[in-house]
């Protein structure tokens, strides 16, 4: 099973889904799905690294917090991202995520901007092991 | 004999769907009730005609766990909700709470719920009335469209000309539209015609994170994207001459509607609060049927902190729309050669808000926290919070249509004060997902189709235009007819789109 990301339907907003061989990969793919709403992600050069760190009591909250942290980085740095290296660590009481997101400054001509994502929500939040080596992460994002 | 897989799977899905399906009963023309059952504290009440209700039920059948009816039922389960979990005819599936819903909670015993306010805090409409007729602006229509497109920062990554320090962001959060005025953007008279005079009192900037404030530093006076827009409109039909005169509206008149909210700051207040309310839900052992409805008792520290942060973000949206109104006036000044003050604010009102209001519950006047998600305040004549100039006709209710269909100016009514906590619909309401819209239309052909109808679209991205194609929304005329027939609003004028600026 290869890693993949996709968008799924929601009446007002958009669903982002990532599938991978580990939770890390599923998170990375979900992040790609998030940025694919906003730009032509294949045109975003992954040159400048930005580090994102979040903690949350469960994997679901961690995914939502991670996606929201990427949106903060987008606005504060004026960047969009296309590659993500995620490391997850389970502590006694919570989960920790460290991600190096790589991207570049938004280029309105080359990246063909789409709709700005406002935030990731708990709605339709699913984290599921769908096979021996298949992990799925998804949620609805507000656009 | 073993049954084949598919009929059995189909039977299982049907049984599952029937079990999950929300029951609705017709109680009056255009009024439906979701009877109280299970953990519901109050019944649900939906204002819709039969066709709109059929569409809601069809959607519920397709997606049994995530649909508008289910979300209306879920809100009815929250502690301290009064009378009904309400939905207006533009209702559609949201996150946590349906878009187009209202929940009023007892000030003492109720909760403040995340899903009933959402991320785009105080996203709303400010409509400006110009002295011009369509015929007067027609020779300069293209010039005006281009000027507005250049003047109004919109789309992903757009930043405004105003650069704020963190201290100035705090001022925006405390002062709302007044911040814009004090810094030379907007008109003093506008304040009379903004909900809450453009400033929520109980706002606390210290409860807003630095991340949220950083996001606003270059976003004040920007439109955003998605369903946000600036639209130049023409009053096409006057339904009520007397009310139209009171609101300063006349047939053929050019109006401008600005639809946007609190930008990244509001979104971040939402994201930060989601986590805090998640904890509060556990701490106070509150039952929430959907995690997006995480909440806190209004009287708890967490509830008060959230309310004050929401109020701060609400002020940010008031300031943002006031700056955009100023930029719009500038474009009219340059193209049409008029003075700024000749373009007046008709009214400005929010959609995703939490407001302390007094309403009658079981014949007693009670202090409530009315949370409106994708719905708007629509107070009737004589209400204290309606601008003096409009006291006899009621608060203007601005209903935003799509870029290819009508919008409306209605007024609130006495009946709405009794039936919907003085709430009204906010728009047409989506019927088709963005993913499906992208599969159905392409931005270029949408722009061309609209141009053939005389509507000039200036967009920052064709993808966003396809997502917002008029066909992705309910029929606004039908939706407005429901509230007018039900007596929740009175029709004053209908407008047609003329120039649209999209993010």
Residues of B in contact with A73 (CB under 8 A): none
Residue B278 at interface with chain A, using a CB cutoff of 8 Å: yes
Average pLDDT over residues B205-213: 97
Mutate to test the interface with A, among B59, B100, B226 (most CBs of A within 10 A): B226
**Burial category of B25 from C-beta neighbours within 10 Å (exposed 0-12, middle 13-18, buried 19 and up):** exposed
The whole-number pLDDT of residue B1 equals 46
How many interface pairs between A and B have CB atoms less than 8 angstroms apart? 144
Q: What is the chain A residue with the closest CA to B503?
A: A115
What whole-number distance in Å separates Cα of residue B297 and Cα of residue B452?
53
CA angle (B199 as vertex; B196, B203 as ends), nearest 5: 120
Our answer to whether residue B426 is catalytic in this structure is yes
Q: What are phi and psi of A57, to 5 degrees?
A: -70, -25
**Residue of chain B with shortest Cα separation from A40:** B463
Interval B483-489 mean pLDDT = 98
Predicted confidence (pLDDT) per residue in B428-469, tens digit? 999 998 889 999 999 999 999 999 999 999 998 888 899 999
Å from B433 to nearest chain A CA?
4
Return the structure tokens found at A106: 């938004």
Per DSSP, the three-state class of A6 is strand
The tens digit of pLDDT for each residue in B372-426 reads: 999 999 999 999 899 999 999 999 999 999 999 999 999 999 999 999 999 999 9
Q: Does B99 touch chain A (CB under 8 A)?
A: yes
Q: What is the pLDDT of residue B21?
A: 83
Q: Which long-range contacts (CB under 8 A, 24 or more apart) does A123-126 make?
A: A123/A10, A123/B66, A123/B94, A123/B95, A123/B96, A123/B115, A123/B290, A123/B291, A123/B292, A124/A10, A124/A15, A124/B66, A124/B95, A125/A60, A125/A63, A125/A64, A125/B291
- Partner residue facing B274 (CB), from A64, A113, A118: A64
Q: What percent of chain B has pLDDT over 90?
A: 91
Residue B371: pLDDT band with limits 50, 70, 90: very high
> Within an 8 Å CB–CB cutoff, is residue B96 touching chain A?
yes
pLDDT at res. B17 = 64
pLDDT at B9: 62
Q: What is the pLDDT of residue B11?
A: 62
Looking at residue B65, its pLDDT comes to 85
Q: Does A13 touch chain B (CB under 8 A)?
A: yes
How many Å is the Cα radius of gyration of chain B?
A: 22
Q: Which of B92, B95, B430 is closest, CB to CB, to A123?
A: B95
| Angstrom distances, CA of residue A52 to CA of A34, B91, B395 | 15, 37, 46
Dihedral sign for Cα atoms in the order B185, B188, B189, B194: positive
pLDDT at B5: 54
Contact criterion met (CB < 8 Å) for B467 and A13:
no
pLDDT tens, position by position, B68-120 = 999 999 999 999 999 999 999 999 999 999 999 999 999 999 999 999 999 99
Which conformational region is residue B224 in: left (phi greater than 0), alpha (psi within -120 to 50 degrees), or beta?
Answer: left
pLDDT at residue B12 is higher than 80 = no
| pLDDT tens, position by position, B228-263 | 999 999 999 999 999 999 999 999 999 999 999 999
- The nearest CA of chain B is from the CA of A134 a distance in Å of 24
* pLDDT above 50 for B64: yes
Q: A106: which chain B residues are within 8 Å (Cβ-Cβ)?
A: 156-157
Q: How confident is the model at residue B8 (pLDDT cuts 50, 70, 90)?
A: low
| pLDDT at site B221 | 97
- The pLDDT value recorded for residue A28 is 98
**How many CB atoms sit inside 10 A of residue B146's CB?**
15
Residue A36 predicted with pLDDT over 60: yes
Chain B residue with CA closest to A16: the answer is B435
Query: Does A123 contact B at CB distance below 8 Å?
Result: yes
Give the per-residue pLDDT at B2.
Answer: 47
State whether B95 and A39 contact (CB < 8 Å).
no
Name the percent of chain B lying above pLDDT 70: 96
Whether the CB of A131 is below 8 Å from some CB of chain B: the reply is no
Q: Model confidence over B250-308: pLDDT tens digits?
A: 999 999 999 999 999 999 999 999 999 999 999 999 999 999 999 999 999 999 999 99
Q: Which residues of A touch B316 (CB under 8 A)?
A: none
Does any CB of chain B come closer than 8 Å to the CB of residue A46? no
Asked if B130 reaches chain A (Cβ–Cβ under 8 Å), the answer is no
pLDDT at B16 over 80: no
DSSP string, A67-82: HHHHHHHHHHHTEEEE
Instruction: Compute the radius of gyration of chain A from its Cα atoms.
Output: 14
Q: Chain A neighbours among B 142-201 (CB < 8 Å)? A: 155-157, 159
Residue of chain B whose Cα is closest to the Cα of A107: B157
Which of the residues B228, B267, B359, B426 is marked catalytic? B426
pLDDT at B152 over 80: yes
Closest Cβ opposite residue B119 in set A39, A114, A118: A118
CB proximity under 8 Å: B 430-449 to A: 430-436
Rounded Cα distance between B26 and B44, Å, is 12
Q: Which of B96, B430, B461 sits opposite A11 (nearest CB)?
A: B430
Mean pLDDT for B304-321 is 98
Contact B271 A120 (CB under 8 A): yes
Three-class secondary structure assignment of B418-430: HHCCCEEECECCE
* pLDDT, position B295: 98
- DSSP designation for B473: B
- Name the DSSP class of B58: H
User: Which residues contact residue B4 at a Cβ distance below 8 angstroms, ignoring those fewer than 6 apart?
Assistant: none
Average pLDDT along chain B: 95
State how far the Cα of A81 lies from the Cα of B451, in Å rounded to an integer. Answer: 35
Q: C-alpha distances in angstroms, B471 versus B118, B448, B466?
A: 25, 15, 10
Q: What are the residues whose beta carbons fall under 8 Å from the beta carbon of B110, sequence distance 6 or more?
A: B78, B79, B80, B81, B82, B297, B298, B368, B369
Alpha-carbon gap: A26 to the closest alpha carbon of chain B (Å): 21
């Amino acid at each position: 099973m290869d890693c993949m990301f996709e968008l799924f339907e929601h009446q007002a907003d958009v669903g982002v889904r990532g599938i991978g061989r580990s939770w890390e990969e599923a998170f990375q793919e979900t992040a790609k799905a998030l940025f694919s709403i906003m730009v032509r992600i294949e045109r975003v050069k992954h040159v400048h690294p930005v580090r994102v760190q979040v903690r949350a009591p469960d994997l679901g909250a961690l995914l939502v917090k991670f996606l929201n942290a990427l949106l903060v980085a987008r606005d504060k740095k004026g960047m969009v991202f296309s590659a993500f290296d995620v490391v997850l660590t389970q502590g006694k009481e919570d989960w920790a995520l460290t991600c190096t997101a790589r991207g570049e400054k938004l280029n309105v001509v080359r990246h063909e901007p789409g709709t700005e994502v406002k935030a990731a929500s708990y709605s339709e939040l699913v984290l599921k092991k769908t096979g021996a080596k298949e992990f799925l992460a998804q949620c609805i994002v507000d656009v | 004999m073993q049954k084949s897989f598919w009929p059995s799977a189909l039977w299982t899905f049907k049984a599952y769907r029937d079990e999950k399906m929300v029951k609705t009963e017709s109680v009056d023309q255009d009024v439906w009730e979701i009877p109280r059952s299970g953990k519901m504290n109050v019944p649900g009440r939906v204002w819709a005609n039969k066709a709109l209700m059929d569409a809601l039920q069809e959607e519920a059948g397709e997606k049994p766990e995530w649909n508008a009816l289910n979300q209306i039922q879920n809100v009815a389960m929250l502690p301290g909700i009064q009378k009904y979990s309400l939905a207006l005819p533009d209702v559609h599936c949201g996150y946590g709470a349906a878009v187009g819903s209202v929940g009023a909670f007892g000030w003492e015993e109720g909760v403040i719920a995340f899903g009933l306010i959402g991320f785009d805090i105080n996203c709303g409409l400010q409509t400006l009335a110009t002295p011009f007729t369509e015929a007067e602006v027609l020779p300069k229509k293209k010039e005006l469209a281009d000027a507005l497109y250049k003047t109004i920062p919109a789309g992903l990554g757009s930043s405004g000309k105003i650069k704020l320090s963190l201290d100035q962001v705090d001022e925006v959060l405390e002062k709302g539209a007044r911040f814009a005025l004090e810094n030379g953007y907007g008109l003093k008279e506008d304040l009379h015609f903004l909900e809450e005079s453009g400033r929520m009192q109980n706002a606390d900037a210290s409860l807003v994170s630095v991340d949220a404030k950083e996001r606003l530093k270059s976003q004040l006076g920007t439109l955003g994207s998605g369903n946000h827009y600036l639209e130049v409109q023409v009053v096409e039909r006057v339904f009520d001459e007397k009310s139209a005169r009171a609101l300063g509206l006349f047939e053929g008149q050019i109006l401008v509607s600005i639809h946007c909210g609190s930008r990244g700051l509001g979104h971040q207040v939402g994201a930060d609060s989601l986590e805090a309310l998640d904890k509060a839900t556990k701490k106070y052992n509150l039952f929430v049927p959907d995690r997006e409805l995480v909440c806190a008792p209004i009287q708890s520290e967490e509830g008060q902190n959230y309310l004050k942060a929401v109020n701060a973000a609400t002020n940010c949206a008031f300031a943002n729309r006031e700056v955009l109104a100023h930029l719009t006036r500038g474009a009219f000044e340059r193209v049409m050669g008029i003075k700024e003050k000749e373009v007046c604010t008709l009214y400005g009102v929010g959609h995703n808000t939490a407001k302390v209001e007094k309403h009658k519950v079981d014949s007693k006047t009670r202090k409530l926290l009315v949370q409106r998600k994708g719905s708007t305040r629509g107070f009737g004549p004589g209400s204290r919070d309606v601008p003096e100039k409009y006291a006899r006709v009621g608060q203007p209710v601005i209903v935003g249509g799509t870029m290819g269909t009508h919008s409306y100016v209605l007024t609130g009514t006495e009946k709405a004060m009794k039936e919907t906590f003085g709430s009204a619909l906010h728009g047409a309401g989506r019927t088709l997902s963005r993913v499906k819209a992208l599969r159905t239309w392409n931005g270029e052909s949408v722009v061309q189709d609209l141009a053939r109808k005389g509507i000039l679209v200036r967009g920052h991205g064709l993808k966003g235009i396809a997502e917002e194609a008029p066909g992705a929304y309910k029929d606004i005329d039908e939706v407005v007819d429901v509230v007018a027939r039900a007596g929740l609003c009175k029709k004053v004028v209908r407008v047609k789109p003329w120039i649209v600026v999209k993010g």
